[in-house]
A = this chain, B = another copy of it.
Amino acid sequence: MLNLIIAEAALELVPSEISGHATVRNDARRRGIDPAEILLDRSIHHAAMLRLKEDYKRGRPDLVYLTLLTVTSTPLYQSGAVKVYLHTRDDLVLDFMEQTRPPKSYSRFRDLMQKSLREKPESGLITVRESSIPGLLNRTRPDLVVGLSVQGKPVKLEDLAGRLTGAKRPAVVLGGFPKGHFTPETTKVLDTLLRVDANPLDAHVVAARLVYEVEKLSRAQR
């Protein structure tokens, strides 16, 4: 079982400090919901976000959507061999039950994420709990924790897939944010930090390639 952890993801509800901003209020009114129930989204709330700390790492539900859809559409995931955890920068962890597929429609995906972050369900296909990355690893106890970042040491994806399939409970940590790097809190619990390309790649591109290489190797070993 490959544990895939999307870390520090740019997914959160609109923080109260900007809930009164015009771009947020207009969006809330148009959708007929409360500002506090809306996913922060740079493509809509850009002007309001300029006030936020580390705004360049925040408000990118599209990246989270692309990464989740990419992974959950693969045969390896659908066979139950990949477990997905989505960790947000606010230290919430969304735990997807094996083989659960999020909605393909973006608006339905967005609504599901809003509901999950708001209601923090303790049971069901997606559960939510407050947890840091160290806390998550402490609970799930992987025997190998690989972080992927352009700051890491170069590795061929095929070789990485080999190391992962050689472990019992490997975990791969991917950044769920558009720019910047893992926080020190995340970095310090990694066994190794690797990069799979000389250039920064979007998380969904890395995720697609990683799952594919692991899937190829798993088939070859059967």
A69 at the interface (CB under 8 A from B): yes
* B197 and A208 contact, CB distance less than 8 A: no
Known contacts A70-B208, A212-B208, A212-B212; decide if A106 and B75 are in contact (CB<8 Å): no
- Would you give the 0/1 interface string for A95-113, flagging 1 where the beta carbon is closer than 8 Å to chain B? 0000000011111100000
- Residue numbers in B under 8 Å from A44 (CB-CB): 107
Query: A205 to B60, alpha carbons, bound, how many Å?
Result: 22
A66 at the interface (CB under 8 A from B): yes
Majority secondary structure, A binding face: helix
A12 at the interface (CB under 8 A from B): no
A140 at the interface (CB under 8 A from B): no
- 8 A Cβ contacts from A73-128 to B: 73-75, 103-108
A222 at the interface (CB under 8 A from B): no
* B43 and A204 contact, CB distance less than 8 A: no
With CB as the reference atom, state the residue of chain B lying closest to A156.
Answer: B216
Q: How far is the CB of A210 from chain B (nearest CB, A)?
A: 10
A169 at the interface (CB under 8 A from B): no
Known contacts A66-B66, A208-B208, A209-B212; decide if A73 and B202 are in contact (CB<8 Å): yes
- Would you give the 0/1 interface string for A205-218, flagging 1 where the beta carbon is closer than 8 Å to chain B? 10011001000000
With CB as the reference atom, state the residue of chain B lying closest to A103.
Answer: B43
Q: Which 10 A-B pairs have the closest CB atoms?
A: A43-B105, A106-B106, A208-B208, A73-B202, A62-B104, A73-B205, A62-B105, A209-B212, A43-B108, A66-B69
* A63 and B204 contact, CB distance less than 8 A: no
- Residue numbers in B under 8 Å from A205 (CB-CB): 70, 73-74, 208
With CB as the reference atom, state the residue of chain B lying closest to A199.
Answer: B75
